[in-house]
A and B are shown apart, each in its own frame.
With several copies, the nearest count.
Chain A
Amino acid sequence: MTENKPKMDVNIGGLILSNPVIAASGTFGFGREYSKYTDLNKIGAISVKALTLEPRQGNKPPRIAETPGGILNSVGLQNPGVRAFIKDEIPFLRKFDTAIIANIAGNTLEDYCEMAEILSREDIDAVELNVSCPNVKKGCMSFGNTTAGITEITKEVRKHLRKPLIVKLTPNVTDIKEIALAAEAEGADAISLINTLYGMAIDIHRKRPILANNFGGLSGPAVKPIALRMVYEVSKAVKVPVIGMGGITTGDDAVEFMLAGATAIMVGTANFVNPTACVEVEKGIENYLSMYNINDVNDIIGILELN
Protein backbone atom coordinates (compact mmCIF):
# COMPACT_ATOMS: atom_id res chain seq x y z
CA MET A 1 0.00 0.00 0.00
CA THR A 2 2.89 2.44 0.53
CA GLU A 3 3.24 3.04 -3.20
CA ASN A 4 -0.49 3.63 -3.39
CA LYS A 5 -0.44 6.29 -0.72
CA PRO A 6 -2.94 8.84 -1.99
CA LYS A 7 -1.85 12.32 -2.94
CA MET A 8 -2.53 14.37 0.15
CA ASP A 9 -1.29 17.85 -0.63
CA VAL A 10 -3.75 20.68 -0.90
CA ASN A 11 -3.50 24.28 -1.98
CA ILE A 12 -4.76 26.98 0.36
CA GLY A 13 -4.71 30.15 -1.70
CA GLY A 14 -1.18 29.56 -2.96
CA LEU A 15 0.11 27.88 0.16
CA ILE A 16 0.73 24.19 -0.51
CA LEU A 17 0.28 21.94 2.52
CA SER A 18 1.68 18.41 2.54
CA ASN A 19 -1.69 17.28 3.85
CA PRO A 20 -4.97 18.95 4.79
CA VAL A 21 -4.66 18.61 8.56
CA ILE A 22 -3.83 21.77 10.50
CA ALA A 23 -3.50 22.16 14.26
CA ALA A 24 -6.06 24.80 15.28
CA SER A 25 -4.92 28.04 16.84
CA GLY A 26 -4.87 28.15 20.62
CA THR A 27 -5.02 24.42 21.06
CA PHE A 28 -1.48 23.54 20.04
CA GLY A 29 0.61 26.33 21.55
CA PHE A 30 3.61 26.87 19.29
CA GLY A 31 3.95 23.15 18.70
CA ARG A 32 6.69 22.71 21.29
CA GLU A 33 4.75 20.71 23.87
CA TYR A 34 3.08 18.49 21.29
CA SER A 35 6.40 17.76 19.59
CA LYS A 36 7.13 15.46 22.53
CA TYR A 37 4.11 13.31 21.77
CA THR A 38 3.59 13.48 18.04
CA ASP A 39 5.53 13.96 14.81
CA LEU A 40 5.02 17.55 13.71
CA ASN A 41 6.39 16.67 10.27
CA LYS A 42 3.20 14.74 9.62
CA ILE A 43 0.93 17.73 10.18
CA GLY A 44 0.12 19.95 7.21
CA ALA A 45 0.39 23.16 9.16
CA ILE A 46 0.27 24.63 12.63
CA SER A 47 -1.82 27.68 13.32
CA VAL A 48 -0.09 29.08 16.37
CA LYS A 49 -1.68 30.52 19.48
CA ALA A 50 -3.12 33.95 18.67
CA LEU A 51 -0.46 36.65 18.69
CA THR A 52 -0.95 40.21 19.79
CA LEU A 53 1.33 43.15 19.25
CA GLU A 54 2.38 43.25 22.86
CA PRO A 55 2.58 40.33 25.30
CA ARG A 56 -0.72 39.56 27.02
CA GLN A 57 -1.46 37.72 30.22
CA GLY A 58 -5.02 36.76 29.38
CA ASN A 59 -7.98 36.24 31.67
CA LYS A 60 -8.24 35.07 35.24
CA PRO A 61 -8.61 31.35 35.89
CA PRO A 62 -10.65 29.16 35.76
CA ARG A 63 -10.39 29.50 32.03
CA ILE A 64 -12.01 26.22 31.07
CA ALA A 65 -15.25 24.41 31.80
CA GLU A 66 -16.32 21.06 30.48
CA THR A 67 -19.81 20.93 28.98
CA PRO A 68 -21.68 18.02 27.39
CA GLY A 69 -19.50 16.93 24.47
CA GLY A 70 -17.55 20.17 24.51
CA ILE A 71 -15.55 22.72 26.43
CA LEU A 72 -15.85 26.40 27.11
CA ASN A 73 -12.62 28.36 27.22
CA SER A 74 -11.78 31.91 28.12
CA VAL A 75 -8.02 32.04 27.80
CA GLY A 76 -8.21 35.61 26.62
CA LEU A 77 -5.25 35.62 24.27
CA GLN A 78 -2.40 34.96 26.67
CA ASN A 79 0.71 35.09 24.47
CA PRO A 80 4.26 36.43 24.49
CA GLY A 81 3.61 38.97 21.72
CA VAL A 82 4.46 38.87 18.06
CA ARG A 83 8.12 39.80 18.52
CA ALA A 84 8.86 37.05 21.00
CA PHE A 85 7.12 34.65 18.64
CA ILE A 86 9.43 35.68 15.84
CA LYS A 87 12.53 35.41 17.96
CA ASP A 88 11.77 32.29 19.98
CA GLU A 89 9.23 30.23 18.14
CA ILE A 90 9.74 30.51 14.38
CA PRO A 91 13.27 29.03 14.55
CA PHE A 92 11.93 26.08 16.54
CA LEU A 93 8.98 25.45 14.23
CA ARG A 94 11.12 25.74 11.12
CA LYS A 95 12.95 22.60 12.14
CA PHE A 96 9.86 20.69 11.10
CA ASP A 97 8.33 20.07 7.73
CA THR A 98 5.08 21.82 8.55
CA ALA A 99 3.68 25.15 7.43
CA ILE A 100 3.47 27.98 9.94
CA ILE A 101 0.27 29.99 10.13
CA ALA A 102 0.44 33.04 12.35
CA ASN A 103 -2.93 33.64 13.99
CA ILE A 104 -3.19 37.33 14.94
CA ALA A 105 -5.59 39.29 17.12
CA GLY A 106 -5.63 42.98 17.86
CA ASN A 107 -7.41 45.54 19.93
CA THR A 108 -7.45 48.03 17.08
CA LEU A 109 -7.25 48.04 13.32
CA GLU A 110 -3.78 49.52 13.66
CA ASP A 111 -2.63 46.57 15.77
CA TYR A 112 -3.67 44.16 13.04
CA CYS A 113 -1.98 46.20 10.32
CA GLU A 114 1.23 46.55 12.26
CA MET A 115 1.38 42.82 12.93
CA ALA A 116 0.71 42.19 9.24
CA GLU A 117 3.65 44.42 8.32
CA ILE A 118 5.94 42.77 10.85
CA LEU A 119 4.97 39.24 9.86
CA SER A 120 5.25 39.95 6.13
CA ARG A 121 8.99 40.16 6.63
CA GLU A 122 9.25 36.91 8.57
CA ASP A 123 9.61 33.28 7.66
CA ILE A 124 6.02 32.20 8.07
CA ASP A 125 3.64 30.76 5.49
CA ALA A 126 0.37 32.51 6.07
CA VAL A 127 -1.51 34.77 8.44
CA GLU A 128 -4.86 33.85 9.95
CA LEU A 129 -6.90 36.82 11.02
CA ASN A 130 -8.62 36.14 14.32
CA VAL A 131 -11.54 38.54 14.17
CA SER A 132 -13.73 36.39 16.28
CA CYS A 133 -12.28 35.73 19.67
CA PRO A 134 -15.16 35.85 22.15
CA ASN A 135 -12.94 36.17 25.19
CA VAL A 136 -11.69 39.71 25.12
CA LYS A 137 -13.77 42.71 25.94
CA LYS A 138 -12.77 44.97 23.13
CA GLY A 139 -11.13 44.31 19.80
CA CYS A 140 -11.37 41.36 17.58
CA MET A 141 -14.87 40.12 18.34
CA SER A 142 -16.50 43.26 17.10
CA PHE A 143 -14.87 43.05 13.68
CA GLY A 144 -16.09 39.55 13.07
CA ASN A 145 -19.83 39.77 13.44
CA THR A 146 -20.77 42.40 10.91
CA THR A 147 -20.04 42.61 7.21
CA ALA A 148 -18.90 46.18 7.70
CA GLY A 149 -16.40 45.12 10.32
CA ILE A 150 -15.05 42.23 8.31
CA THR A 151 -14.82 44.36 5.17
CA GLU A 152 -12.85 47.05 6.93
CA ILE A 153 -10.38 44.80 8.65
CA THR A 154 -9.76 42.54 5.66
CA LYS A 155 -9.24 45.50 3.36
CA GLU A 156 -6.77 47.21 5.68
CA VAL A 157 -4.79 44.12 6.64
CA ARG A 158 -4.61 43.08 2.98
CA LYS A 159 -2.77 46.32 2.22
CA HIS A 160 -0.08 45.47 4.75
CA LEU A 161 0.25 41.74 4.35
CA ARG A 162 2.48 40.09 1.76
CA LYS A 163 1.57 36.54 2.65
CA PRO A 164 -1.52 34.42 2.06
CA LEU A 165 -4.34 35.80 4.16
CA ILE A 166 -6.78 33.49 5.90
CA VAL A 167 -9.76 35.14 7.55
CA LYS A 168 -11.23 33.16 10.45
CA LEU A 169 -14.94 33.61 11.03
CA THR A 170 -17.05 33.55 14.14
CA PRO A 171 -20.17 31.37 14.08
CA ASN A 172 -22.08 33.77 16.33
CA VAL A 173 -23.85 35.45 13.42
CA THR A 174 -27.17 35.27 11.63
CA ASP A 175 -25.74 34.83 8.15
CA ILE A 176 -22.24 33.41 7.84
CA LYS A 177 -22.24 33.48 4.02
CA GLU A 178 -22.58 37.23 3.96
CA ILE A 179 -19.56 37.64 6.26
CA ALA A 180 -17.51 35.18 4.23
CA LEU A 181 -18.34 36.95 0.96
CA ALA A 182 -17.26 40.26 2.45
CA ALA A 183 -13.89 38.78 3.45
CA GLU A 184 -13.44 37.26 0.02
CA ALA A 185 -14.33 40.49 -1.72
CA GLU A 186 -11.59 42.31 0.17
CA GLY A 187 -8.89 39.85 -0.79
CA ALA A 188 -8.91 36.98 1.67
CA ASP A 189 -7.03 34.05 0.13
CA ALA A 190 -8.93 31.57 2.26
CA ILE A 191 -11.66 31.46 4.88
CA SER A 192 -11.36 29.39 8.02
CA LEU A 193 -14.29 28.57 10.29
CA ILE A 194 -15.64 28.10 12.86
CA ASN A 195 -14.19 29.83 15.84
CA THR A 196 -15.93 29.09 19.12
CA LEU A 197 -19.61 29.59 19.92
CA TYR A 198 -20.30 32.00 22.72
CA GLY A 199 -21.56 30.20 25.80
CA MET A 200 -21.71 29.88 29.56
CA ALA A 201 -21.70 27.27 32.30
CA ILE A 202 -22.88 27.76 35.85
CA ASP A 203 -21.80 26.29 39.15
CA ILE A 204 -25.18 25.91 40.84
CA HIS A 205 -23.62 25.59 44.28
CA ARG A 206 -21.57 28.75 44.11
CA LYS A 207 -24.34 30.41 42.05
CA ARG A 208 -21.73 31.85 39.74
CA PRO A 209 -20.43 31.10 36.28
CA ILE A 210 -17.65 28.50 36.28
CA LEU A 211 -15.36 30.64 34.17
CA ALA A 212 -13.83 33.59 35.98
CA ASN A 213 -14.56 35.51 32.79
CA ASN A 214 -18.23 34.40 33.07
CA PHE A 215 -18.57 33.61 29.37
CA GLY A 216 -16.41 31.57 27.05
CA GLY A 217 -16.13 29.96 23.67
CA LEU A 218 -17.61 26.52 23.03
CA SER A 219 -15.62 24.00 21.01
CA GLY A 220 -15.35 20.24 20.66
CA PRO A 221 -17.59 17.48 19.28
CA ALA A 222 -20.77 19.22 20.45
CA VAL A 223 -20.40 21.97 17.85
CA LYS A 224 -19.71 19.73 14.87
CA PRO A 225 -23.15 19.83 13.22
CA ILE A 226 -23.24 23.62 13.39
CA ALA A 227 -19.69 23.92 12.04
CA LEU A 228 -20.40 21.50 9.23
CA ARG A 229 -23.49 23.37 8.13
CA MET A 230 -21.59 26.66 8.13
CA VAL A 231 -18.64 25.20 6.23
CA TYR A 232 -21.06 23.89 3.64
CA GLU A 233 -22.82 27.23 3.29
CA VAL A 234 -19.60 29.21 3.05
CA SER A 235 -17.87 26.91 0.60
CA LYS A 236 -20.91 27.07 -1.67
CA ALA A 237 -20.84 30.86 -1.46
CA VAL A 238 -17.15 31.73 -1.93
CA LYS A 239 -14.59 30.74 -4.54
CA VAL A 240 -11.52 30.80 -2.28
CA PRO A 241 -10.59 27.69 -0.34
CA VAL A 242 -12.30 27.03 2.96
CA ILE A 243 -10.62 25.57 6.03
CA GLY A 244 -13.17 23.74 8.14
CA MET A 245 -13.11 23.05 11.85
CA GLY A 246 -15.30 22.47 14.86
CA GLY A 247 -15.28 19.21 16.76
CA ILE A 248 -13.08 17.21 14.43
CA THR A 249 -11.75 14.22 16.35
CA THR A 250 -11.37 11.46 13.77
CA GLY A 251 -10.54 11.02 10.12
CA ASP A 252 -14.22 10.41 9.44
CA ASP A 253 -15.10 13.78 10.96
CA ALA A 254 -12.49 15.41 8.73
CA VAL A 255 -13.96 13.67 5.68
CA GLU A 256 -17.40 15.07 6.53
CA PHE A 257 -15.94 18.58 6.42
CA MET A 258 -14.05 17.96 3.18
CA LEU A 259 -17.12 16.48 1.48
CA ALA A 260 -18.98 19.58 2.62
CA GLY A 261 -16.42 21.75 0.84
CA ALA A 262 -13.37 22.24 3.06
CA THR A 263 -10.00 22.14 1.31
CA ALA A 264 -8.24 21.67 4.62
CA ILE A 265 -9.38 21.13 8.18
CA MET A 266 -8.21 22.10 11.63
CA VAL A 267 -8.12 19.96 14.74
CA GLY A 268 -8.52 21.82 18.02
CA THR A 269 -10.05 20.48 21.22
CA ALA A 270 -9.30 16.89 20.21
CA ASN A 271 -5.60 17.54 20.82
CA PHE A 272 -6.26 17.94 24.54
CA VAL A 273 -7.77 14.51 24.82
CA ASN A 274 -5.35 12.86 22.45
CA PRO A 275 -2.00 14.53 21.76
CA THR A 276 -1.62 12.53 18.56
CA ALA A 277 -5.05 13.53 17.25
CA CYS A 278 -3.78 15.54 14.26
CA VAL A 279 -1.71 12.66 12.94
CA GLU A 280 -4.51 10.18 13.54
CA VAL A 281 -6.97 12.38 11.70
CA GLU A 282 -4.58 12.55 8.75
CA LYS A 283 -4.22 8.77 8.76
CA GLY A 284 -7.99 8.42 8.98
CA ILE A 285 -8.48 10.55 5.88
CA GLU A 286 -5.97 8.37 4.03
CA ASN A 287 -7.83 5.25 5.12
CA TYR A 288 -11.07 6.64 3.78
CA LEU A 289 -9.44 7.42 0.45
CA SER A 290 -7.94 3.94 0.25
CA MET A 291 -11.26 2.31 1.07
CA TYR A 292 -12.80 3.96 -1.95
CA ASN A 293 -9.70 3.80 -4.17
CA ILE A 294 -9.44 7.55 -4.38
CA ASN A 295 -5.87 8.59 -5.07
CA ASP A 296 -6.07 12.32 -4.52
CA VAL A 297 -7.59 13.92 -1.47
CA ASN A 298 -8.64 16.86 -3.63
CA ASP A 299 -11.14 14.57 -5.32
CA ILE A 300 -13.37 14.49 -2.26
CA ILE A 301 -13.51 18.22 -1.65
CA GLY A 302 -17.05 19.53 -1.96
CA ILE A 303 -18.47 16.45 -3.68
CA LEU A 304 -21.34 16.15 -1.22
CA GLU A 305 -24.65 15.82 -3.02
CA LEU A 306 -27.77 17.07 -1.33
CA ASN A 307 -30.73 14.74 -1.02
Chain B
Amino acid sequence: MSKVISEKVEKVEQLAKSIYRMTIKSAYISENAKPGQFVNVKCSEGINALLRRPISICKVDKDRGTFDIVFQIKGIGTEYLAQKTATSEVDLIAPLGNTFNIDAKHEKIAVVGGGIGIFPLLYLLRELKDVEKRAYLGFRNKDFAVLLDEFEANCNVLNISTDDGSMGYKGLVTDILENDLKSCNFDIIYTCGPMPMIKRVVEIAHKNNIKCQVSMEQRMGCGIGACLVCACKTKKEESWEYSHVCKDGPVFWSDEVIFDD
Protein backbone atom coordinates (compact mmCIF):
# COMPACT_ATOMS: atom_id res chain seq x y z
CA MET B 1 0.00 0.00 0.00
CA SER B 2 1.48 3.30 -1.05
CA LYS B 3 1.07 6.60 0.72
CA VAL B 4 1.53 10.31 0.18
CA ILE B 5 4.15 11.05 2.74
CA SER B 6 6.60 13.78 3.65
CA GLU B 7 9.90 12.44 4.95
CA LYS B 8 13.21 13.80 6.23
CA VAL B 9 16.31 13.64 4.11
CA GLU B 10 19.15 12.10 6.07
CA LYS B 11 22.00 12.56 3.63
CA VAL B 12 22.72 13.64 0.08
CA GLU B 13 25.98 12.44 -1.43
CA GLN B 14 27.47 13.16 -4.82
CA LEU B 15 28.64 9.89 -6.35
CA ALA B 16 29.79 11.23 -9.71
CA LYS B 17 29.69 14.44 -11.71
CA SER B 18 25.93 14.26 -12.19
CA ILE B 19 24.87 11.38 -9.95
CA TYR B 20 23.61 11.71 -6.40
CA ARG B 21 22.53 9.36 -3.66
CA MET B 22 19.88 10.48 -1.24
CA THR B 23 19.17 8.64 1.99
CA ILE B 24 15.70 9.27 3.30
CA LYS B 25 14.32 8.43 6.72
CA SER B 26 11.04 6.58 6.38
CA ALA B 27 9.86 3.80 8.61
CA TYR B 28 6.85 3.32 6.37
CA ILE B 29 8.66 2.98 3.08
CA SER B 30 11.54 0.92 4.44
CA GLU B 31 8.98 -1.44 5.93
CA ASN B 32 6.84 -1.78 2.84
CA ALA B 33 9.10 -1.45 -0.20
CA LYS B 34 10.10 -4.35 -2.42
CA PRO B 35 12.74 -4.56 -5.18
CA GLY B 36 11.54 -3.04 -8.44
CA GLN B 37 9.39 -0.40 -6.81
CA PHE B 38 9.83 3.32 -7.11
CA VAL B 39 8.95 6.54 -5.37
CA ASN B 40 7.21 9.46 -7.08
CA VAL B 41 8.86 12.51 -5.65
CA LYS B 42 7.94 16.19 -5.80
CA CYS B 43 10.99 17.96 -7.15
CA SER B 44 10.20 21.60 -6.52
CA GLU B 45 8.08 23.94 -4.55
CA GLY B 46 5.31 25.53 -6.53
CA ILE B 47 5.07 25.01 -10.24
CA ASN B 48 8.72 24.98 -11.27
CA ALA B 49 8.83 21.26 -11.92
CA LEU B 50 5.12 20.62 -11.90
CA LEU B 51 4.98 16.84 -12.06
CA ARG B 52 6.49 14.42 -9.60
CA ARG B 53 9.52 12.40 -10.81
CA PRO B 54 9.66 8.60 -10.58
CA ILE B 55 12.91 7.29 -9.05
CA SER B 56 13.66 3.67 -8.22
CA ILE B 57 14.40 2.51 -4.74
CA CYS B 58 18.04 1.45 -4.64
CA LYS B 59 18.43 0.25 -1.08
CA VAL B 60 16.35 -0.28 2.02
CA ASP B 61 17.63 -0.41 5.58
CA LYS B 62 14.77 -1.74 7.65
CA ASP B 63 16.72 -1.58 10.90
CA ARG B 64 17.52 2.08 10.56
CA GLY B 65 14.23 2.86 8.87
CA THR B 66 15.83 4.46 5.85
CA PHE B 67 15.96 3.93 2.12
CA ASP B 68 18.17 5.23 -0.67
CA ILE B 69 17.49 6.58 -4.10
CA VAL B 70 20.23 7.30 -6.61
CA PHE B 71 19.58 9.66 -9.46
CA GLN B 72 21.29 11.33 -12.34
CA ILE B 73 20.69 14.99 -13.10
CA LYS B 74 18.77 15.22 -16.34
CA GLY B 75 16.70 18.38 -16.07
CA ILE B 76 15.06 20.79 -13.65
CA GLY B 77 13.54 18.15 -11.41
CA THR B 78 16.62 16.11 -10.64
CA GLU B 79 18.68 19.30 -10.43
CA TYR B 80 16.45 20.59 -7.67
CA LEU B 81 16.51 17.25 -5.89
CA ALA B 82 20.30 17.32 -5.84
CA GLN B 83 20.18 20.61 -3.91
CA LYS B 84 18.34 19.07 -0.99
CA THR B 85 20.32 18.76 2.19
CA ALA B 86 20.16 16.83 5.43
CA THR B 87 17.59 19.26 6.82
CA SER B 88 15.18 19.07 3.89
CA GLU B 89 11.98 17.14 3.57
CA VAL B 90 10.86 15.28 0.47
CA ASP B 91 7.26 14.78 -0.53
CA LEU B 92 6.76 11.26 -1.83
CA ILE B 93 4.12 8.90 -3.06
CA ALA B 94 5.58 5.52 -2.29
CA PRO B 95 6.22 2.69 -2.61
CA LEU B 96 4.76 2.42 -6.12
CA GLY B 97 4.67 -0.19 -8.85
CA ASN B 98 5.00 -3.93 -8.86
CA THR B 99 8.11 -5.88 -7.93
CA PHE B 100 10.67 -8.17 -9.47
CA ASN B 101 9.75 -11.83 -9.35
CA ILE B 102 11.81 -13.49 -6.64
CA ASP B 103 11.49 -17.25 -6.58
CA ALA B 104 13.24 -19.69 -4.29
CA LYS B 105 13.63 -22.02 -7.27
CA HIS B 106 16.00 -19.61 -9.01
CA GLU B 107 19.52 -20.79 -8.27
CA LYS B 108 21.48 -18.68 -10.68
CA ILE B 109 20.42 -15.24 -11.75
CA ALA B 110 21.80 -12.39 -13.80
CA VAL B 111 21.07 -8.70 -13.76
CA VAL B 112 21.86 -6.60 -16.80
CA GLY B 113 21.76 -2.87 -16.30
CA GLY B 114 22.69 0.25 -18.18
CA GLY B 115 22.99 3.84 -17.01
CA ILE B 116 20.37 4.78 -14.44
CA GLY B 117 18.83 1.32 -14.88
CA ILE B 118 21.36 -0.18 -12.51
CA PHE B 119 19.82 1.24 -9.34
CA PRO B 120 16.70 -0.92 -9.00
CA LEU B 121 18.87 -3.92 -9.88
CA LEU B 122 21.18 -3.19 -6.98
CA TYR B 123 18.20 -3.24 -4.62
CA LEU B 124 17.18 -6.57 -6.13
CA LEU B 125 20.67 -8.02 -5.70
CA ARG B 126 20.75 -6.93 -2.08
CA GLU B 127 17.51 -8.77 -1.37
CA LEU B 128 18.35 -11.97 -3.22
CA LYS B 129 19.96 -14.36 -0.73
CA ASP B 130 21.53 -17.77 -1.27
CA VAL B 131 21.61 -17.47 -5.03
CA GLU B 132 24.44 -17.23 -7.48
CA LYS B 133 24.26 -13.71 -8.81
CA ARG B 134 26.06 -12.19 -11.76
CA ALA B 135 25.82 -8.52 -12.69
CA TYR B 136 26.43 -7.05 -16.13
CA LEU B 137 26.63 -3.28 -16.09
CA GLY B 138 27.11 -0.99 -19.05
CA PHE B 139 28.05 2.69 -18.86
CA ARG B 140 28.75 5.44 -21.33
CA ASN B 141 32.17 5.87 -19.76
CA LYS B 142 33.85 5.39 -16.41
CA ASP B 143 32.53 8.73 -15.10
CA PHE B 144 29.04 7.24 -14.94
CA ALA B 145 30.14 3.99 -13.24
CA VAL B 146 29.00 4.37 -9.65
CA LEU B 147 28.26 2.05 -6.72
CA LEU B 148 30.58 -0.62 -8.11
CA ASP B 149 31.77 -1.65 -4.64
CA GLU B 150 28.20 -2.22 -3.60
CA PHE B 151 27.50 -4.29 -6.67
CA GLU B 152 30.72 -6.16 -5.99
CA ALA B 153 29.57 -6.89 -2.45
CA ASN B 154 26.16 -8.10 -3.58
CA CYS B 155 26.97 -10.44 -6.42
CA ASN B 156 29.34 -13.24 -7.28
CA VAL B 157 30.64 -11.90 -10.56
CA LEU B 158 30.58 -8.32 -11.72
CA ASN B 159 31.08 -7.46 -15.40
CA ILE B 160 31.53 -3.92 -16.58
CA SER B 161 31.54 -2.41 -20.03
CA THR B 162 31.82 1.14 -21.25
CA ASP B 163 31.09 2.58 -24.66
CA ASP B 164 34.54 4.13 -24.86
CA GLY B 165 36.54 1.45 -23.09
CA SER B 166 37.52 3.81 -20.28
CA MET B 167 36.62 1.03 -17.85
CA GLY B 168 36.10 -2.71 -18.34
CA TYR B 169 35.17 -4.15 -21.68
CA LYS B 170 34.86 -1.67 -24.55
CA GLY B 171 31.51 -2.22 -26.19
CA LEU B 172 28.07 -3.49 -25.34
CA VAL B 173 27.45 -5.16 -22.02
CA THR B 174 25.19 -7.58 -23.85
CA ASP B 175 28.25 -8.87 -25.72
CA ILE B 176 29.70 -10.03 -22.39
CA LEU B 177 26.39 -11.61 -21.44
CA GLU B 178 26.12 -13.41 -24.74
CA ASN B 179 29.64 -14.70 -24.46
CA ASP B 180 29.12 -15.93 -20.89
CA LEU B 181 26.00 -17.77 -21.93
CA LYS B 182 28.16 -20.11 -24.02
CA SER B 183 29.56 -21.53 -20.81
CA CYS B 184 26.98 -20.84 -18.15
CA ASN B 185 23.24 -20.62 -17.71
CA PHE B 186 20.78 -18.58 -15.67
CA ASP B 187 17.34 -19.33 -14.32
CA ILE B 188 16.30 -15.74 -14.83
CA ILE B 189 17.70 -12.50 -16.15
CA TYR B 190 16.52 -9.15 -14.82
CA THR B 191 17.21 -6.07 -16.91
CA CYS B 192 16.75 -2.33 -16.73
CA GLY B 193 18.26 0.45 -18.78
CA PRO B 194 18.18 2.05 -22.21
CA MET B 195 15.68 0.56 -24.65
CA PRO B 196 18.23 -0.80 -27.15
CA MET B 197 19.97 -2.65 -24.34
CA ILE B 198 16.72 -4.04 -23.00
CA LYS B 199 15.69 -5.24 -26.43
CA ARG B 200 19.02 -6.98 -26.94
CA VAL B 201 18.86 -8.64 -23.50
CA VAL B 202 15.37 -9.90 -24.21
CA GLU B 203 16.51 -11.27 -27.57
CA ILE B 204 19.40 -13.09 -25.93
CA ALA B 205 17.26 -14.43 -23.11
CA HIS B 206 14.62 -15.73 -25.50
CA LYS B 207 17.21 -17.35 -27.77
CA ASN B 208 18.65 -19.11 -24.75
CA ASN B 209 15.28 -19.97 -23.27
CA ILE B 210 15.91 -18.02 -20.11
CA LYS B 211 13.11 -16.34 -18.21
CA CYS B 212 13.55 -12.61 -18.25
CA GLN B 213 12.07 -9.60 -16.50
CA VAL B 214 12.42 -6.07 -17.77
CA SER B 215 11.91 -2.89 -15.79
CA MET B 216 10.46 -0.23 -18.10
CA GLU B 217 10.66 3.53 -18.09
CA GLN B 218 7.99 5.88 -19.34
CA ARG B 219 7.05 9.50 -18.75
CA MET B 220 4.44 9.65 -16.02
CA GLY B 221 1.60 11.87 -14.88
CA CYS B 222 -0.03 10.53 -11.73
CA GLY B 223 2.25 7.57 -11.00
CA ILE B 224 -0.66 5.62 -9.52
CA GLY B 225 -2.50 4.22 -12.53
CA ALA B 226 -5.19 6.82 -13.04
CA CYS B 227 -4.10 9.08 -15.88
CA LEU B 228 -3.05 6.39 -18.33
CA VAL B 229 -0.15 8.31 -19.82
CA CYS B 230 2.63 5.81 -19.04
CA ALA B 231 1.59 3.32 -21.69
CA CYS B 232 3.55 0.17 -22.46
CA LYS B 233 2.47 -2.16 -25.25
CA THR B 234 1.82 -5.66 -23.98
CA LYS B 235 0.33 -8.85 -25.36
CA LYS B 236 -3.32 -9.67 -24.73
CA GLU B 237 -4.76 -12.89 -26.04
CA GLU B 238 -4.39 -12.76 -29.82
CA SER B 239 -3.80 -9.05 -29.83
CA TRP B 240 -2.21 -6.33 -27.68
CA GLU B 241 -3.15 -3.59 -25.27
CA TYR B 242 -1.55 -0.63 -23.54
CA SER B 243 -0.61 -1.54 -20.00
CA HIS B 244 0.74 1.10 -17.67
CA VAL B 245 4.26 1.26 -16.34
CA CYS B 246 3.36 2.84 -13.02
CA LYS B 247 0.77 0.27 -12.07
CA ASP B 248 1.13 -2.88 -14.17
CA GLY B 249 4.91 -2.32 -14.11
CA PRO B 250 7.55 -1.08 -13.96
CA VAL B 251 8.50 -4.77 -14.07
CA PHE B 252 7.16 -6.91 -16.92
CA TRP B 253 7.94 -10.39 -18.10
CA SER B 254 9.94 -10.03 -21.28
CA ASP B 255 7.44 -12.08 -23.29
CA GLU B 256 4.58 -9.81 -22.24
CA VAL B 257 6.03 -6.66 -23.74
CA ILE B 258 5.77 -5.73 -27.40
CA PHE B 259 8.78 -3.65 -28.28
CA ASP B 260 7.58 -1.90 -31.42
CA ASP B 261 6.45 1.52 -30.19
A contact residues vs B (CB 8 Å cutoff):
26-29, 32-34, 36-37, 49, 57-66, 68-71, 73, 75, 78, 212, 220-222, 269, 271-276
Contact = CB atoms under 8 A, between A and B. Distances in A.
B49 interface: yes
B227 A29 contact: yes
Contact of B228 (A29, A60, A269, A275): A29
A203 to B, nearest CB: 11
Which applies to chain B's interface (DSSP): helix, strand, loop or mixed? Answer: loop
Interface of B: 1-4, 42, 47, 49-52, 93, 218-232, 240-242, 247, 261
Contact of A37 (B50, B219, B224, B230): B224
A66 B50 contact: yes
Given A66-B49, A69-B50, A73-B229, A33 B222 contact: yes
Contacts of A220: 47, 50
22 contacts: A27-B227, A29-B225, A29-B227, A33-B224, A36-B1, A36-B224, A37-B93, A37-B224, A58-B242, A60-B231, A61-B229, A63-B219, A64-B221, A66-B49, A66-B51, A70-B50, A71-B50, A221-B50, A272-B51, A272-B222, A274-B4, A275-B93
B50 A75 contact: no
A272 B222 CA distance: 4
B53 to A, nearest CB: 10
Contacts of B229: 61-64, 73, 75
A37 to B, nearest CB: 6
Nearest to A67: B50
A109 B227 CA distance: 26
A185 B162 CA distance: 56
B261 A60 contact: yes
Most A Cβ at <10 Å: residue of B1, B222, B227:
B227
Contacts, number: 103
Contacts of B52: 272-273
Contact of A276 (B4, B219, B221, B261): B4
Contacts of B227: 26-27, 29, 64, 73, 75, 272
A28 B224 CA distance: 10
A273 B1 contact: no
B231 A275 contact: no
Contacts of A37: 3-4, 93, 224
Nearest to B230: A61
The 9 closest A-B pairs by CB, nearest first: A29-B226, A64-B229, A63-B229, A33-B226, A61-B231, A62-B219, A272-B222, A69-B47, A33-B224
A239 B231 CA distance: 38
A34 B226 CA distance: 8
A75 B241 CA distance: 14
B242 to A, nearest CB: 5
A78 to B, nearest CB: 5
A271 B222 CA distance: 7
Contacts of B93: 37, 275
B228 A75 contact: yes
Given A36-B2, A78-B231, A61 B218 contact: yes
A58 B228 contact: yes
Contact of A33 (B4, B225, B230, B232): B225
Nearest to B247: A33
A272 B261 CA distance: 25
Given A36-B1, A78-B242, A271 B50 contact: no
A275 to B, nearest CB: 6
Nearest to B224: A33
Contacts of A275: 4, 93, 222, 224
Contacts of B51: 64, 66, 71, 272-273
Most A Cβ at <10 Å: residue of B3, B4, B51, B228:
B228
A257 B186 CA distance: 50
A274 to B, nearest CB: 7
B42 A273 contact: yes
A61 B222 contact: no
A65 B50 contact: no
A212 B230 CA distance: 12
A129 B222 CA distance: 24
B2 to A, nearest CB: 7
Nearest to B236: A57
Most B Cβ at <10 Å: residue of A37, A61, A78, A276:
A61
Contacts of A212: 261
